[in-house]
Structure 1
Amino acid sequence: MIISHLRVNHIEKPLGYLLDKPTFSWITSDSAGTCQEAAQLQIAIDEAFCNIIFDSGRQEAISSLGYTPDITLKPRTRYYWRVLVWSEKDHGISEVSWFETGKGNEPWSGEWITSPFDKEIHPQFFKAFSLKKRVKSARAYITGLGTYEFEINGKKVGNEYLAPFYNDYHKWLQYQTYDITSFLREGKNAIGAILGNGWYKGRFGFINQMKELYGSQFGLLCDIDIMLEDESHIVIGTDESWLCHPSPILESSIYDGEVYDAGKEVDDWSTIDCDLNGYAAAIKFSPVCGTLTERLSPPVVITERCAPVKLLHTPADEQVIDFGQVITGWVEFKCHLPAGEKIRLQFGELLQNDNFYNENLRTAKEEYIYISNGKPAVIRPHFTFYGFRYIKIIGLSHIDLKNFEACVIHSGLEFTGKLETSNDKVNRLIENAHWSQRDNFLDVPTDCPQRDERMGWTGDAQVFSATASFNMYTPAFYKKYLYDMLLEQKTHDGSVPHVVPDILERCMVLSGNEDAVQHGSCAWADAATVIPWTTYLFYGDKTLLREQFENMTLWVDYIKMQDDTLTGSSRLWKTGFHFADWLALDNLDKSSSFGGTDCYYVASAYYFYSASLAAKAASVLGETEKAKEYQQLSEEIKKAIQKEYFTPNGRIAVDTQTAMVVALYMNLVPKEHKERLVQDLKKKLDDNKVHLTTGFVGTYLLCQVLSENGLQSYAYQLLLNEDFPSWLYEVNMGATTIWERWNSVLENGLVSDTGMNSMNHYAYGSIVEWMYRYMCGINPVESAPGFKEITLKPQIDERFDFARAEYLSAAGLYKSGWEKTDSGVAYHITIPFDAKARFIVRDTISSVKVNGILHKELCGKCELTLKTGEYEIIVQK
């Protein structure tokens, strides 16, 4: 028996995270048994478990998906834990893992400091100190306004970038904890820290040149907490004894990039040998910011390094490096130039007429400028990131590709899913969706990583949340995002802004346009119900669902309030602004970004959907009265929708693909007319030569609805279409990520629109969820969340020779693949420990063999319950 993936609040070995109520989870594999009979959790303050402070004892009720003991934790304390698991045949014990608390409610010794320089001058701070004994343990508790990096004795601390990350600084601020024991030594030590604008005070938002969104001054707060070998305790906090100096970073901006003048470097700036000539004393200040707390954000790290593919000399006489893949991150390079010479790097996603192109970035410069000090150097940006495949280099006469490397940067989440088919173009599409997720999961789920936007758009996040959770382990990532969302909801009577954090409102307020602030669009704001429920369905953690239940209820109650006060409790949502089926192709006005589906129909449908999800969540949490309340509300909405939008004979009043799939997916169509609507949808597709016209709402649901209603061949056709509009049209046009628009690039290779056109938006990548759930058949079951049970119902298609999926779920590793044989289909399936699957094949069957054994009773049908194990199921027609 192997017990792995030991997590606390869905983080492995969390250091300094917010751990008010720690929830423990793990995965068991390689057991001689098939199911967990009992488990035991132990927590100690020593690795040898001589001093155990919590022992659950053997309990049958403990779940590997999440166990929350009744325990009070001390601040600044490392705890060790392990779990024992019993199956019906064996038992095992995990390796020892740990978690460590932050400062909790303890006061800070340090104070906020800033520099006496002009507010535009990027500062670097310095502090020297001596230690009389060897260090037993040491921690740095640190945060900055805006982003920061720091070094001790000449070495960068941690592998994270862009800390303290992105949230509404007026609502809350995270600090990070680092183990710096190995960085310190007996005798003299030094710490150096540099700061960049980041989201705190740099340009951000739609209003050009809007800066200082949260504050105007750089700031640093730090406590260095040291325990010496003699058990004496030292705390070195930021105060006026720290020194500061202008840093070599002349400019930094999330949108515009960075300007770095190496001629202004201070040698040994983070060591005891630092030349302090020109340094000034730091000054204390009191920033306007929200509650300072331990972190929620998973680390933002470099996850991959990519070599260039080729050097291009364009018709416009440009030198352009092609990395072969659109990524988020930056380029690290080596160079040795005379002092004062300048290199300029410009970043872009694609070429136009074989020349470098970046006009779709709008006002974002996306560049890096380096001014040499005459010394050889390895160069990288510090406080920005870029969305790019190509970089244009100006100021370097000879380019050696070996000196350049692209660094892929995103939140460090474990990859959990794999898909492969016999179609290479579909495989490229799968890879494109995966890359777009990586590129846009940078602390918040952004819409795009390149232009003057990069915001946490709720609509994109909502439709992609299930796909994201197949691809990566997302609960901690979404926990932070939903916490940001909840804080926003509490300032909007429960409504959800279009983006979280709500930088759009902040820009409007600062520009004097408070009346123009918008929030509460259907499908976008419904992220407040969809993401919590998706997270529960995928990971089965009731503690998380309870935390996020307030997001759900606030949002549903807000819509109901609008309904009650503005439309007389009509139980239809017919007020306000809505993106609805954004960027659909069925609007007669081709210049519009809005789809052709009535926005209030979509809004009313989501009103129903969110109310029903709130009812389900309330039922899971034992909130019986609330469950009844939201269930009744959802039934009232459904009746109102059927009365308003369906004729007595079952014809839907809104005659679009999206309207039909929404009604079928959300079960809004009267039961007696469901088959008519399915046939109407089929005809709608036939009339359009089986091509979609859907946007952000309809596309996500379309193939799922087709597969659920006997039209899986149509779903496959939509997947396999190669002409416009289709997923493979993008692949054929050379896309390496998912486009924002179906026609982001025209057939002539030119960009269709520069006003709003990203080559890296993940929303339409939600087709990958359909591949997991319908092509390969891995479907979670609501009554057994966390993939403790699945419905395994692969839908094959003759145009594929094989398809296979792997998914490392919260319960363990599932595999589901199929391949055609001369006389039928061979299914290869793995079910993890303590899980089961209901395997279903609906085709006409002449024989079924399971692991070589013929099952005559399954002839003509195939429905099996599969427990833990590996299976080869041969189905012959």
Structure 2
Amino acid sequence: MKISNSILSILYLLNSSVPIILGKDISSDSFDVINLTVNRLNKPLGLDEKTPYFGWQMKTDRPENKTQVSYKIVVKNEEGKTMWNSGKVKSDQSQNVQYNGKKLSQETYYSWSVEISDNNGKTEKSSSYFTTGLNLSREGQGNWEGAEWIGSNDLPLNSHTLAVYTIKTSIRISAESDHAGIVFGANDARLMSADKNIWHLEASKNESRIEYVLDISAFPAKLKIYRHGYSANDTKKPVAEFEITEKTINSKNAHDFHEIWIFSSHGVVQLGIDEEVIDLPQINYVSKGAVINPAGPGGDYMSFPMVADIGFVVDAGQKAEFKNYKVLNYRSPGNALFSEDLTEEKNSIFTGQQGITISNGVYQLDGGVKGALVVANPSRGSMPALQTSFKIKNKQISHAFLYATARGFTQYDRFHLYQTYDVTKQIRKGNNTLMTQLAEGWWSGAITFTGDLWNYFGDRQSFIAKLVITYKDGSRDVIKTNSKTWKLSTDGPLISSSFFQGENYDARRELKFNKNAEVIPINEETTHLEPLFNVMSGDLMEFDYSKVKFVGQETIPVRDVEQVKAKSVKKLKDKIYIYDMGANLAGVPKITIPNGKAGNKVTLRFAEVLYPENDVNNAGELMLENIRAALATDTYILKGGKEIISPRFTYHGYRYIEITGLDKLSLKNVETIVLSSIDRFTAGYKCSNESINKLFQNILRTTHANFLAIPTDCPQRNERMGWSGDLSVFSKTASYLWDVNNFLSQHLQAMRDTQTPKGRFDDIAPLGGGFGGPLWGSAGIIVAKEVYQQYGDENIYQQHYQAMKKYMDYLETKVLEDGILTEGAGAELGDWLGPENSKNDVSFLVFAQEIKNLKVIYTTAEHLGKTDDAEYYKNLYNKRKALFNKKFVDASTHKTLKSNGELMDTQTSYATGLEYDAFNDENSVYAAKYLVEACERENVDDEGITRPPYSLMTGFVGTALISKALTHVGRSDVAYKLIENHQYPSWLYSVDQGATTIWERLNSYTKENGFGGNNSMNSFNHYSFGSVGAWMIEDSLGIQRDEQNPGWKQFNLRPQPDFNGKMTWAKGHYDSQYGKIESYWKLSKKECTYKFTIPVNTKANCQLNVPKSFNSTTIKINGKSKNVTVKNHKVNLELLPGKWNIIVKN
């Protein structure tokens, strides 16, 4: 028989009947105290916290009804002196217990113990430790004892990976000549092999190049750009030419030296001569210039040209002289990467080539009969490595701690992280060596989707550290970074390394530390201090390192979390193979070569997907267009013998690895080291629908890949940024999947550090800028709320409340006279990438978001005891909510409207209004009805195509809300039909296409339309549409936090069996900070079975649906019949610790 779903009412209301309290006989079994944490970390080192907070769990094989009744915490320093004895505290709290003892000292080892008594009179004790860091006040830089930032001012250049740069030179065209120029972008390896570019071009040596020519054959003179070998459409005509005013070049000075320069950002160029800057059009919202990249304008496309090989060009019969030829880094002060001392001809990379001589510091070019094309590779040096040696005294060592900066990703002008390492076991008596290798990280080079932010913080890497060795007699040695005792290597094997561009390594090179390290202070001398314009806010983003804070890292560092072997391989041609890792991942390859030949070059490229077989030009090849301007290529030159290629200073998002330069390798020799900040997941979900199981695994895999130092939008292309809109919709799901308290607290720090003086939370953090508007910036409100609710840590509000308040006050300044809140056209994204996005009025969504924010902040103010703030924001909430209902809801039909009065009537509008509590009571009843109708009917998408019932018509915003809105109005049956749908648009459509991660678009790939023309903005690893994961845990399984009691000491169980659908069972868990909560339900024709596990020292308010056919007053609980009260087809129970088996007959 088909079981019908019960509906409490159109509105989601808690049943007011008194629950039955269920508990088993108190167990007399013993228990253990486990998982001792300090600031949510196990045995943390270098904790910068004046008053840390403690946590622990109780564990027993017989959890029935067991609770904690008291605790006693004792903290001692290394000498055994008691710093805090809490005494016996009668409390069942076992998380977020704040330190309340004597003042803690920096760089100190502390032991601590906790003694627990249970409700049976038994007592158990456990102990752990923590150490403090260099900066307990979290102000300034802390106690580095004179350690200096060191590095190298000798900047390396790998010209074939440098995509943003300036090239300049002075040119004098000889009296008998009228044109000559410079060459760059020559011999790009991608254009010299038909397998390495989507146009299948194959240029011979020097055939692919960019020529930048000064032509004075007539006045006005011209600057001309020629492109050869970059496109099948390249001709002998210039791709761009620009007139020079006669003030700059005229008949009198035409044959004098003139300085020409060209700046290229992913092939969008700006240029000039002498003091004249050529006026060029705006290309996009970031850049202006001329486009010479055949792939497209700017960072949204594959990047051409790189600096690559450079040189000169003169035609037959032409002569010219050049001097001061330079390749410059982008960003003030524009340090030179290439320039030559021409006091001797042998010093030049061009020496020995035909058509060039060098004399008196000048390159002299003679075209002769055939013309002269002089080209060479200007690459030089390698990433800096640093080393010092020291000798240990002949004493017993107590401990040794290394404090060092591997910065992670923060807003570096405000906030730096350092790490603490226990290296006691690594220190040996006698001579020791400490070495570090530097690379770009997030500090230098490519950092985001626009080249205008290249070298955002500076172009020189640096390092600060101190090693403190403490002997058992209490004495200590301190080894610290400085320019006197540390040596430098700038010609080692790590040629270049970048997150976006990849890593280039020459294993034949050795590290030779043959010069002194140089001081690279973090100040105006070496970092970028030129203000950047924030396009969205209109503010200038000023850098000020004088107030930067150094704080010990309290998040789990990025680490190797899994190693995956290739699943299959296919041959493209000789020595080119594509290996399939079986799933889309973020990490680095580990390629084992049994017997390599010295000098052979191996090239690795990475892609999420391959071109489909119906692609006539590129079928079966790597689809790299969606990687965009990130080169994402690793090269490795073998030293010979058995070798392992495994980059250390880059990472890629990929499923497929293309290996060029080797014979076919065994699958076991091709591995991926998966990298993530997530050490373990805290939630699981399985059900009778295998496709939905795959969907949940895809959500997990996507979270793994994108919670990497920061919460990124995607791990593969030239972005990998902390987009706030993505995080806002996914933060609740994330809080179930992993212990994100410290991780997201650190990210909220970045949001505060990028908050504008006016109070705006920027759309990206760190860095700031971006676009999105209030739906993105409101992450500064929503994420804080999700973290607090999940973990009950009030520190989050203590740290963040003023920033929340500042943002809400900023939003008030953006309210127009008609009451609409807007940051302006072009600044705001709505229901991003929804199939019917054009139907959803952005101003409706922004207004609803403001109402949600106001409710969060007034309840937060109430909790913090800020009564004036609470009253102000609550009044504003009521006022704005009333206006919202008047402006956006039709008074007669109660359907949603756009701000211009047009009908909206969309899934997203109803789901958003309901979940954000924007509708009044009357409109909520109608909204629930219309939401169901919008799901059950056919809908026409923005392409004009009619989509079938139960299609997911929502984008980033609506998707996070729709399933919960349906459940909250008593229609979880419709929510199940949405998630069980396989047709496009749906969650399972991508699963059916073989997706192993969540896609950026619901139609990232379709059978009918391939990539749909969205090749460049099309991530296949993007967690936003995975926000349904929260519904799977909270509603399908019913494991819900109690918002009146944050932190899971008390929680709700409200499972929603699929009474009218196809799913017959579901099970899963959430590992709360108090222990594992398990939920299971199974449907049969005769009954519904529920199974729950309630952790020790907690309790659950359980609400069970019963079918309409249920006409009994008893249910079975752990095999015994119990009388229950059924109201509105629901039963309320209070479950105490233990395992529960509940059967409800139909």
Q: Could you state the TM-score of these two structures normalised by the residue count of structure 2? A: 0.70
Counterpart CA distance in 2 for 1:601 and 1:316 is 58
Q: Answer yes or no: is 1:394 the counterpart of 2:690.
A: no
Distance 2:679 2:812 in 1: 36
Give the counterpart letter for 1:811 in structure 2: Y
Look up the equivalent residue of 1:431 and give its one-letter code.
Q
Describe how 1:359-370 pairs up with structure 2 within 5 A: 359-370=625-636
- Which structure's residues are more often helix, by fraction? 1
Structure 1 pair 69–62 and aligned structure 2 pair: CA distance change class (3 A): farther
- 2:1124 aligned with 1:857, yes or no? yes
Does residue 117 in structure 1 map to residue 360 in structure 2? no
Q: SS of 1:252's equivalent?
A: strand
Say which SS state the counterpart of residue 165 (structure 1) adopts.
Answer: coil
Structure 2 alignment gaps of length 5 or more = 1-30, 136-141, 158-381, 524-544, 614-619, 898-903, 939-948
> How is 1:560-709 mapped onto 2 (pairs within 5 angstroms)?
560-563=812-815, 567-568=816-817, 570=819, 572-573=821-822, 575=824, 577-587=827-837, 595-649=838-892, 650-653=894-897, 654-688=904-938, 689-709=949-969
Identity of aligned residues (%): 30
Task: Return the offset for 1:122.
Answer: 0.7
Measure, in 1, the Cα distance between the counterparts of 2:919 and 2:472: 72
Report the structure number with the largest CA radius of gyration.
2
Question: SS at 1:356's partner residue?
Answer: coil
The equivalent residue for 1:747 is 1007
Contact 1:444 1:481 in 2 (8 A): yes
Corresponding letter in the other structure for 2:154: F
Partner of 1:76: 107
Matching of residue 198 in structure 1 with residue 441 in structure 2: yes
CA distance in 1, matches of 2:790, 2:76: 30
Partner residue in 1 for 2:1138: 869
C-alpha distance in 2 between matches for 1:193 and 1:295: 19
Distance 1:395 1:34 in 2: 63
Q: Structure 1 2/190 Cα, relative in aligned 2: closer, same or farther at 3 Å? A: same
Q: Give the whole-Å Cα distance in 1 for the aligned partners of 2:121 and 2:1009.
A: 61
Does residue 1:102 correspond to 2:161, yes or no?
no
1:874–1:540: structure 2 CA closer, same or farther, 3 Å change rule? same
Contact 2:576 2:661 in 1 (8 A): no
- The equivalent residue for 2:486 is 242
**Residue in 1 that maps onto 2:783:** 531
User: Do the aligned residues in 1 keep the contact of 2:905 with 2:930 (CA within 8 Å)?
Assistant: no
CA distance in 1 between counterparts of 2:575 and 2:505 reads: 26
1:822, 1:123 → 2: CA distance?
70
Select the residue among 1093, 1096, 1109 that pairs with 1:833.
1096
Residue 795 of structure 2 is matched in structure 1 by 543
* 1:501 corresponds to 2:786: no
Q: Which amino acid aligns with 1:807?
A: Y
**Amino acid aligned to 2:111:** Y
Partner residue, 2:401:
139
- Determine the C-alpha separation between the residues in 1 that align with 2:1067 and 2:57: 22
The DSSP-based 3-state class of the residue aligned with 1:26 is strand
1:431 is aligned, of 688, 691, 697, to 697
- Relative to structure 1, the CA distance from residue 28 to residue 377 in structure 2 (aligned partners, 3 Å threshold; closer, same or farther) is same
- After superposition, the C-alpha distances for 1:478-519 in whole angstroms (9 at most, x for unaligned) are 111001111111x3422111111025x4xxxxxxxxxxxx56
2:641, 2:49 → 1: CA distance?
Answer: 46
Task: Find out whether 1:808 has 2:1052 as its counterpart.
Answer: no
Q: Match of 2:582?
A: 324
In structure 2, distance between residues paired with 1:648 and 1:719: 33
Q: Are 2:505 and 1:260 equivalent residues in the alignment?
A: yes
Given residue 1135 of structure 2, which amino acid in structure 1 is its aligned partner? L
User: Which moved further from structure 2: 410-419 or 391-400?
Assistant: 410-419
Query: Does 106-115 or 700-709 show the bigger shift?
Result: 106-115
CA contact (8 A) 1:572 1:640 kept: no
Task: Render the CA deviation track for 1:408-467: whole Å, top value 9, x for unaligned.
Answer: 101144321111111111100000000000100001100000001000011111111111
Aligned residues: 822
How far residue 327 of structure 1 moved from its aligned partner, in angstroms, is 0.7
Displacement after TM superposition at 1:666 (Å): 1.8
Q: 1:282 is matched by which residue type in structure 2?
A: A
Partner of 1:842: 1105
How far apart are 1:691 and its partner, in Å? 1.2
Q: Which runs of 5+ in 1 are unaligned?
A: 144-162, 267-275, 506-517, 588-594
Alpha carbons 2:1034, 2:1040 under 8 Å: kept = yes
| Match in the other structure for 1:147 | none
Any idea what SS the aligned residue of 1:168 has?
Answer: coil
Equivalents in 2 of 1:396, 1:209: separation in Å?
Answer: 37
SS in 1 for 2:657: strand
Q: Is the partner of 1:734 in helix, strand or coil?
A: coil
Are the counterparts in 1 of residues 1080 and 1091 from structure 2 also a CA contact under 8 Å? yes
User: CA 1:312/1:119 → structure 2, altered by over 3 Å: closer, same or farther?
Assistant: closer
Change (3 A) 1:748 1:652: closer
- 1:574 & 1:20 partners in 2: Cα distance? 40
Amino acid at match of 1:851: N
1:94 Cα deviation after fit = 4.1
The CA distance in 2 between the partners of 1:381 and 1:673, in whole Å, is: 57
Tell me if structure 1 keeps the 8 A contact 2:820–2:843. no
Q: 1:285 aligns with which of 520, 532, 537?
A: 520
Q: How does 1:375-386 map to 2 (within 5 A)?
A: 375-386=641-652
Distance (whole Å) between structure 1 residues aligned to residue 74 and residue 92 of structure 2: 12
Kept in 2, the 8 Å contact 1:608–1:637? The answer is: yes
TM-score normalized by the length of structure 1: 0.91
For 1:86, which of 103, 117, 120 is the aligned residue? 117
One-letter amino acid of the structure 2 residue matched with residue 295 of structure 1 = Q
Describe the shift of the 1:432–1:711 C-alpha distance in structure 2 as closer, same or farther (beyond 3 A): same
Match of 1:228 among 471, 474, 491: 471
3-state DSSP of counterpart to 1:735: coil
Distance 1:796-1:757 versus aligned 2 partners, 3 A rule = same
Using the alignment, how far apart are the partners of 2:573 and 2:951 within structure 1? 37
- In structure 1, the partner of 2:992 is 732
Q: After the TM superposition, which parts of structure 1 deviate over 6 Å for at least 4 consecutive aligned residues? A: none
Q: Is the 1:718–1:726 Cα contact (8 Å) retained in structure 2?
A: yes
Look up the equivalent residue of 2:797 and give its one-letter code. Answer: L
State which drifts further: 290-299 or 437-446.
290-299
- CA drift of 1:93 comes to 3.3
CA displacement, residues 747-776 of structure 1 (integer Å, 9 cap, x when unaligned)? 158323112100000011111111111111
Q: Deviations over 1:198-250 (max 9, x none)?
A: 11012122223753210121212111111134432111111122111122111
Contact 1:36 1:88 in 2 (8 A): yes
Superposed CA offset, 1:57-113 (max 9, x none): 112357222111234211111111122222321444342111111112324332111
SS of structure 2 residue aligned to 1:381:
coil
CA distance in 2, matches of 1:202, 1:225: 33
* CA distance in 2 between partners of 1:673 and 1:126 (Å): 69
Residue pair 1:36, 1:85 contacting (<8 A) in 2 also:
yes
Deviates more, 1:23-32 or 1:120-129: 23-32
- Shift in alpha-carbon separation, 1:138–1:676, aligned structure 2, 3 A: same
Question: What residue in structure 2 maps to residue 27 of structure 1?
Answer: 57
- For residues 600 and 209 of structure 1, the distance between their equivalents in structure 2, rounded to whole angstroms, comes to 31
> For 2:421, which of 167, 173, 178 is the aligned residue?
178
Query: Which residue does the alignment assign to 1:463?
Result: 729
Which is further off, 749-758 or 655-664?
749-758
Counterpart of 2:819 in structure 1: which amino acid? S
1:479 maps to a residue whose letter is S
Could you say what the CA RMSD is over the residues aligned between the two structures, in angstroms?
A: 2.0
Counterpart secondary structure, 1:351: coil
Other-structure match for 1:508: none
**Number of the residue aligned with 2:198:** none
